[in-house]
Amino acid sequence: MYDFQKTQLAFIDHLKDPDNNPFSHDIEPRRMAIYRDLFFNNIKGFLSSGFPVLESLYTTKQWNALARQFFAEHECRSPYFTDISKEFVEYLSNEYERQEHDPIFMAELAHYEWMELAVSIRKLTQSQIESQAWDTSQPVSDVQLSPLASVVSYQFPVHQISQDYQPSEAGEPVYLVIHRDSDDQVDFTLITAMTAHLLVTIENNTHLSFESLHQSMIESLPQLESEQVIQGVNQIVQQMLDEQILLPYSISA
């Protein structure tokens, strides 16, 4: 490795974790402090803007320590600033060892907060853009999950968590759809387990006709009468179409 590459790596290590990686090259300490603060404050700023609820559950000292630990320990794979939040979620889920003062739901809450950004910046292909422009007066034969929608489930009611409400143990699964409408507004919709199963079934098959969807759901819910399932499916699909969570895949002639 060339000397300049070694110097670059030493510089980076020092910026990320100055306490454990002193930088011995001839640079004025005041200037190094400026670089350290600039990089760390940028990272912390992205975390604070991306995870306001999670941050509100910590003292300033605790939040700074968590941000510092993420900056020092995690090797980000993306050069894009918008991916810092995603990297933080992955860090909490796969690398971070939860401390006594950390809420038990911190990884799920972070994922929930990140999903708003993820959906808000999700890009569409031309064909997907065209499918968004559906004239609701036209009948639909097949449906697909909007590319601007994601179905998620959590063991904690992350949509209710605040400084005043912090559950200490997991409960019944919570199902949500995070989706972006034609006005680029991101919304969170609480859904039932049946609706979540229906949407995931459609997503896993790319698209489904009403007949195929009816049959799939009847097989999944043998405890219910077929007609009851069909009526429930039709109501859910219509609601999801109205909210732009589902979109037509093909238009009936």
Identify the residue with better confidence: 116 or 24.
Answer: 116
Token code pair at residue 197: 């199963």
In a domain, 11, yes or no: yes
Is 201 in the same domain as 250?
yes
In a domain, 121, yes or no: no
What is the C-alpha separation between 67 and 226, in angstroms, rounded? Answer: 53
In a domain, 125, yes or no: no
Query: Taking Cα atoms as reference points, which of 121, 122, 124, 142 lies closest to residue 133?
Result: 124
Is 214 in the same domain as 138?
yes
Whether the predicted model's global pTM rises above the 0.95 cut: no
What is the C-alpha separation between 206 and 144, in angstroms, rounded? Answer: 6
In a domain, 7, yes or no: yes
Is 170 in the same domain as 247?
yes
In a domain, 107, yes or no: no
The number of distinct structural domains making up the chain is 2
Token code pair at residue 53: 């609820």
Q: What is the pLDDT of residues 170-211, one digit of tens each?
A: 999 999 999 998 888 999 999 999 999 999 999 999 899 999
In a domain, 108, yes or no: no
In a domain, 235, yes or no: yes
For residues 8-15, give the mean pLDDT.
60
In a domain, 110, yes or no: no
What range defines the domain where residue 199 resides?
132-253
Is 166 in the same domain as 230?
yes
CATH number, domain containing residue 146: 3.90.930.50
Question: By percentage, how much of the chain surpasses pLDDT 70?
Answer: 81
Residue pair 43/70 in contact (Cβ under 8 Å)? The answer is yes
